[in-house]
Structure 1
C-alpha cells in the first residue's frame, strides 16, 4: 500500500515538474517580443514577476488567510534566499548572459544547475549518487547542446560567462530550497513569498519609472502576428511564472531536488518547440535528435534518483485547502 502511494506521488511529481518546465519554456518568444518592442531585459523580467505577485498575493490571502503568514514566519530567511536567488537571480542572470553570449550558450550554462544539485547532494548531504544518475545528466547535457546548436556562433565574454554561471547556481538553489521546505510549507506560500521578494529585489535595478509603458498598449509583433503588450505580460506573469513556480515547487516536493533537477531539462525542448510554433523557427534534424536525447537523459536520471521517503504523518501539501 505504501509502495503504491509512493509511486503515485512520484508520478504526480513528474507530471508537475514537466508542466513547470513547459510553462517556463513558454516565456522565451513572448519575452523576446517585449524586449524587441522597447523594454530592457530587466524591465521585462520585473513586469513578469511583479505581475505574478499581484496574482499570488490575493490568491494566498483568499486560500490561506492569516495562516499563510504564520506558516511562513519560521522560514523567512530561506524564503528570502529563495526569492533573491531561485526567482530574481535566476531570471536576471539568464537575461544578462543571453545579452552577451549566444542564447544557446546561455541556456546551456543555466542548465548546468542540476549538475550543481547533484554535487550538493553528494558533497553536502552525503547522499550516494548513482552512476546512472550522473550518466543521465551527462546525456541530457549532450542533447541540450544539440538542441541549442551550441557550436554555431560561439563567442566568449567574461561577464556573460559569469552571469551564466550565476544563473546555474541560482537554479540549483531553487531546487535545493524547495526540497528543504517540502512538508514544512506548501507550494502556494513558498511561491508567493519567493516571487514577492524577487519583485522587490528587482525594482531598483529594473528602474520601472523609466519604463516605456506605452509598450503595454501597443501592438507587439510576435512572429507573423501582433498582440497587445499587456496580453504578453499577462501570459508571462500568469502562465510562465505563477503556474510555472507553483507546479515546479510542488513537483520538487513530490520527487526530490535531484530528480526534479534532471526532469527540468525538458524546458529547453519545450522552448524550442514553442519558438517553432509561435515564431516559425524551424527545427533542424540535429535539434530533433537533441530533443530526443534530452528526454532520454532526463528519464534515466529521474529513474536513478529515488524519491526521498516521506513519513505518513508529514504529507505533501496541496495547492488548495
Structure 2
C-alpha cells in the first residue's frame, strides 16, 4: 500500500463529508427532491471527470472491450443504487440511522467478503481499526434517535446502500485491461447519473431544473468536489489500498460533515460527538501505511478484491519482514 494512494482515499473520505451539506442546501435553495439532487450529482460528476480525463489524455490507449463495458455498467448500477437506496432510507428511517447503517455496514461487508475470498481472517490491525471506526461512528452519528416513519424499511434500504458501496469498492480494486481508473469512473458515473434520472420519475421525484442561481452553484460544487474529485481520488487510490482499508477511510465522511455543521451551521458537537471524532481519527492512524511499496501490489485482472497477489520470489539469504 503506497502512502500516496492511502492519502488519496483519505482525501476522498474528507471531501465526501462536504457532499451532505452541499446536497441539502442545493435541494433546499433549488427546490429539488433528494433523488434529483443525487442524479445531478452523479451525472455532473461524471461529465466533469470526462472532461478532465480528456484534457489529461487518459483516454489514449483505452480499448473498448467486454471487460471495460461490464466494469462501467456494473459500477454505474452500483453507484445509482447506492445513492437512491441511501436517500430512500433517509426518508424512512431518518438521517442518523441511515448514515449509521449505510456507512457502518460497508466496511463490515467488505471485511467479510475479503475474508471469504482469501480464506483468511482479518488482521489484528484491521479488526482494531474497524472497532475504533464503528464505535466512533456510533458516538458521532448515533446519538440522535430515529425520526423516520418506517424504520425497518429504512434500515433494509440502508443495508442495500451499504452493500452497493461495498461491492463498488471491491469492483474498483479490479484492473481493467487498457483502461485506467479515471476514464472508467468518468464513464460509469455519467451512465449512473443517466440511469438515476430515468428512474427518478418512477420513484415519484422527477428531475427538474433548480429554480435559483444558488441552486445551480451548489450543484456545480457537488459535482466537482465531493463527486468528481473525491471519487476520482478514491478509485485511483484503490490501486494499492486494500478494499477493507478504503471502506474504513470512507468513514471520514461523517467526521467532515460534523465539523462542517459545527463551523457553518453553528451546531454543538457535544461530548459524545467529540469522543466519536477522536475514535474515527484514531482508526485512520491505526490504518496508515508503515512503509511505502511500489505498484506491484495492484490487483491484477485475475485477482478478486482483497485477494493476495502472486508471491515474490525469495532471494537466498535475504531477510523478510512481515507487515
Please indicate the TM-score interval, normalised by the length of the shorter structure.
0.7 to 0.9
Aligned counterpart in structure 1 of residue 43 of structure 2, from 43, 46, 50:
50
Bigger shift: residues 143-152 or 25-34: 143-152
1:297 and 2:293 are equivalent in the alignment: no
The offset of 1:168, in angstroms, is 0.5
CA contact (8 A) 1:79 1:190 kept: yes
- Give, in whole Å, the separation in 2 of the partners of 1:305 and 1:174: 27
The offset of 1:290, in angstroms, is 0.6
Residue of structure 1 in register with 2:180 after alignment: 186
CA contact (8 A) 1:72 1:185 kept: no
The offset of 1:83, in angstroms, is 1.5
The SS at the match of 2:56 is helix
The SS at the match of 1:26 is helix
Aligned counterpart in structure 1 of residue 98 of structure 2, from 102, 106, 115:
106
1:116 and 2:82 are equivalent in the alignment: no
The offset of 1:195, in angstroms, is 0.4
Residue of structure 1 in register with 2:318 after alignment: none
Number of equivalenced pairs: 294
The offset of 1:23, in angstroms, is 1.3
Aligned counterpart in structure 1 of residue 87 of structure 2, from 80, 92, 95:
95
Residue of structure 2 in register with 1:83 after alignment: 76
Tell me, which stretches of 5 or more residues in structure 2 are unaligned? 301-323
Q: Output aligned runs, 1:215-294, within 5 Å.
A: 215-217=211-213, 228-294=214-280
Bigger shift: residues 122-131 or 44-53: 122-131
What is the alpha-carbon root mean square deviation over aligned residues? 2.8
The offset of 1:311, in angstroms, is 6.3
Bigger shift: residues 144-153 or 62-71: 62-71
Greater fraction helix: 1
CA-to-partner distance for each residue in 1:156-179, whole Å, 9 max, x for gaps?
A: 623211110011101101210111
The offset of 1:27, in angstroms, is 0.7
Cα 1:210/1:117, change in 2 over 3 Å: closer
The SS at the match of 1:98 is helix
The SS at the match of 2:118 is coil
- Give, in whole Å, the separation in 1 of the partners of 2:212 and 2:83: 21
Cα 1:72/1:299, change in 2 over 3 Å: farther
Cα 1:177/1:295, change in 2 over 3 Å: same
The offset of 1:43, in angstroms, is 0.4
CA contact (8 A) 2:62 2:178 kept: no
- Give, in whole Å, the separation in 1 of the partners of 2:206 and 2:121: 50
- Give, in whole Å, the separation in 1 of the partners of 2:280 and 2:69: 36
The offset of 1:241, in angstroms, is 0.6
Bigger shift: residues 296-305 or 279-288: 296-305
Tell me, which stretches of 5 or more residues in structure 1 are unaligned? 1-8, 218-227, 315-321
Q: Output aligned runs, 1:183-222, within 5 Å.
A: 185-207=179-201, 210-217=206-213
1:24 and 2:16 are equivalent in the alignment: yes
Residue of structure 2 in register with 1:4 after alignment: none
Q: Output aligned runs, 1:122-141, within 5 Å.
A: 122-141=115-134
The offset of 1:63, in angstroms, is 2.9
